Amino acid sequence: MVSKSDLLPGTLDLLILQTLKRAPLHGYGIAQSIKRVSDEALTVEEGSLYPGLQRLLLQGWVTAEWKMTETNRRARYYTLTAAGRKQLGLEISKFEQMMAAIGRVLADAEEAG
Amino acid sequence: MVSKSDLLPGTLDLLILQTLKRAPLHGYGIAQSIKRVSDEALTVEEGSLYPGLQRLLLQGWVTAEWKMTETNRRARYYTLTAAGRKQLGLEISKFEQMMAAIGRVLADAEEAG
DNA sequence: TTTCTATCCATAGACAATCTATGGTTAAGC
DNA sequence: GCTTAACCATAGATTGTCTATGGATAGAAA
């Protein structure tokens, strides 16, 4: 089953990095952004998001910094690093290759043996 | 990371069902077919394939039958059931929705708040 | 005839990623 | 004062995939 879940497994990092490409953002905002931009089709649960952000921090793909939000709250803002930007490029191209490959299987009419 | 692995997680059942849509096939043949049709981009490991086939059997989406292959070997042929065909349709549409949603995120230029 | 390769099956255990459930803080509106 | 929305984060369960392993046999090659 293609994910009874809210996300296609294996795509979370990609989505987070892409979201941070535009501007630094806090966790809550990242989740909101992905939900909004995907027209509610993708929901990132907090239990997936925060562990995910920890992974990205460990990899050095983002940095984190506590700041105040526009709504006057403390929040941890994540910023894409140069390495993160590079990684995003890699992941996008891998993802596109996967999509193309799956597309070939789904489109297959099979001529050869 | 979008799968350092050979497959996009969450797409295996889809690939198997689609492969069986054309004709009944044994496990080994399914793996070969997916690899060939995807131009070597997708490799289904046996350790993923056979547990996957067990899941599909349990769900009633395929049936299995021992037969002889063209190469004179015993092999277990899997056949898509009516329920399996229906499931395949569901998975394709879910998958396409996911792809569209991820596409929106990747294409996003963000105008609104 | 032996050895190798490709064809076939399948499971156990490790590992990674996601989800559910939980728990906490605080600003602002009512 | 209460409630809701905005925020953070972790533990544990679950699921899916991979690695590693083990086995059998046909046919080609040596």
* HSE-CB for B99 with a 13 A CA cutoff: 18
Adjacent-strand bridge partners of B74: B68
Query: Chain B partners of A34 at a C-beta cutoff of 8 Å?
Result: 105
> Can you read off the two tokens belonging to residue B20?
């069986």
Instruction: Say how many CB pairs under 8 Å bridge A and B.
Output: 113
What gap in Å lies between CA A96 and CA B90, rounded to an integer? Answer: 22
* CA–CA distance, B80 with B85 (Å, rounded to integer): 6
Q: Is B26 helix (H, G, I), strand (E, B) or coil?
A: strand
Predicted pLDDT of residue B6? 86
* pLDDT-wise least confident of A91-95, A106-110, B65-69, B90-94: A106-110
Name the pLDDT band for B1 (thresholds 50, 70, 90).
very low
What was the pLDDT predicted at B44? 97
Residues 6+ apart with CB under 8 A from B102: A8, A11, A14, A15, A38, A42, A95
A96 touches strand C (CB under 7 A): no
- Please state, as a whole number, how many other Cβ atoms lie within 10 Å of the Cβ of residue A37: 23
pLDDT, tens digit (0-9, with 9 covering 90-100), for B49-103? 999 999 999 999 999 999 999 899 999 999 999 999 999 999 999 999 999 999 9
Q: Label residue A35 by pLDDT band (50, 70, 90).
A: very high
Is the pLDDT score of B110 beyond 70? no
Query: In this complex, do B9 and A9 lie within 8 Å of one another by their Cβ atoms?
Result: yes
